[in-house]
Structure 1
């Protein structure tokens, strides 16, 4: 049996009560005061929706004390731990829940979110394993979440398996596009273009980046990448044009006034952020460093 879930993106934490089916039936042990239990459940749910993660954690821990063998509460608390970036605690809860669930049962939300916890600990292989299992079961029901594909691509990128990363990014971009999720399609397509550079397919990468740049008017990312690539080819004017547009016309990375900040010009001067958080591959980070430092190609 496979449980379907939804997962919101990059950055990337899932909506807890959707992921684990909060409103679904849960087998309960006999208790003297169901009203007290129900109050804890309502408190956990409302706290999570209000982003009061500490409150949600306290309520779920109290529920677990009442029903210590019920796996669904561990799965829910695991997601709170993920959102709190307490990744080791999340994995403990997810592992407990997995052991308690029936052998044929698979929670897609738990698999992808446990992968996210492993990813937070830079345990890339374990993350890939869990993402891959989530993708396998998603394929069985005909609904592969593009966010999960993009996340597995990030992990392949982190272990230097750039071809596998490219396949995941391209597939994620295609699914995002089919579902008319423009921001997701742009992000995955940007990641794919970066992988092509690392694979030596620079001409293709530049062509793809130019396409993304036109579609994402308020994003610094591909303009910064193009600046680095054009500089590495000795095309200083194009490099400067792309970077100056990023820093003078965009800078904040906002598509619209008052909208969310997608990326920012100054962030790209932080090479640790560029490699570890934004996940640019090594050769792109080095190209960009040379551009910023005006090192001749």
Structure 2
């Protein structure tokens, strides 16, 4: 669903986006064009959506909601610089709305501008300390900056929220894995699998962890489930740079998979 907010989950081509509306909505005509662009955005018709958002903004350049939505679409189309420009203008017009800060942070992450993204996420958290999206995304930024201890804390906060997503719980377990507490990481991953038996991320993580502990048979069993759900877990670059796994579980999984390739 595309409106004004994005939560990065990292499971499709590069990023999965969940869009939530800005508090500011279009208040002027042509409402039909605004709604058309919104529907195209929801349906993933990004090229047409970008064209219609731009047409709408030609007449209403100060509509913060439309700017933020177009920024989301531009990011989805691979234009993070254009996305940042739109989100920045939306912030200038409607500084009380937190969604464009979150959206801009995601675009900044796409350019590996970790410090800038961190500032935007921290601004959101300063105003709403329980914002799950900002907590989770900031955790990913801390991991990218190799601060896995802080990443673990942020993922734990996101995972403890009433609005927690399964990926936050998995990322918390992976950060614990990276920090060397394999028993706690395994416990959290197994709890996650019991609740979501078809969750590929947890199955792949358990495969890596079990292999590292010498339990090859159970590792292979869990990998068979993970591979059937999402084959991208075979790709080291995807794991590190798209899904954003920590290096230790990533290297363990790749080493485990290398056994099948000999």
Q: Same fold (TM over 0.5)?
A: yes
The Cα offsets for residues 156-194 of structure 1, whole Å up to 9 and x where unpaired, read as: 11111111111111111111xx24x6xx1x221111111
Stretch of structure 1 that moved more, 6-15 or 232-241: 6-15
| Alignment equivalent of 2:241, drawn from 276, 291, 296 | 276
Unaligned runs of 5+ in 2: 10-14
Q: What's the TM-score, normalizing by structure 2? A: 0.83
Larger Rg: 1
| Offset from partner CA, 1:243-271 (integer Å, 9 cap, x none) | 34545xxx12xxxxxxxxxxx1x322211
Cα distance change, pair 41–277 in 1 and its aligned pair in 2 (3 A): closer
SS of 1:13 mapped into structure 2 = coil
Matched, 1:87 2:80: yes
Q: C-alpha root-mean-square deviation of aligned residues, in Å?
A: 2.6
Unaligned runs of 5+ in 1: 27-33, 253-263
Contact 2:207/2:223 (<8 A) preserved: yes
Moved over 6 A (4+): none
Count of residue correspondences: 252
CA shift, 1:121, in A, is: 1.9
- TM-score w.r.t. the length of structure 1 is 0.74
Identify the residue that residue 251 of structure 2 maps to in structure 1: 286
Residue equivalent to 1:15: 19
Contact 1:275–1:285 at 8 Å: present in 2 too? yes
Is 1:117 the counterpart of 2:103? The answer is no
Q: Would you say 1:196 and 2:176 are equivalent positions?
A: yes
- Cα distance in 2 between the residues matched to 1:239 and 1:40: 52
**How far did residue 126 of structure 1 move?**
1.3
Deviation at residue 64 of structure 1 after TM alignment: 2.9
Deviation at 1:6, TM superposition (A): 5.9
Q: Quote the Cα distance in structure 2 between the aligned partners of 1:58 and 1:131.
A: 29
Query: Which residue number in structure 2 is paired with residue 218 of structure 1?
Result: 198
> CA separation in 1, counterparts of 2:232 and 2:36?
38
State how far apart, in whole Å, the 1-side matches of 2:224 and 2:57 are.
55
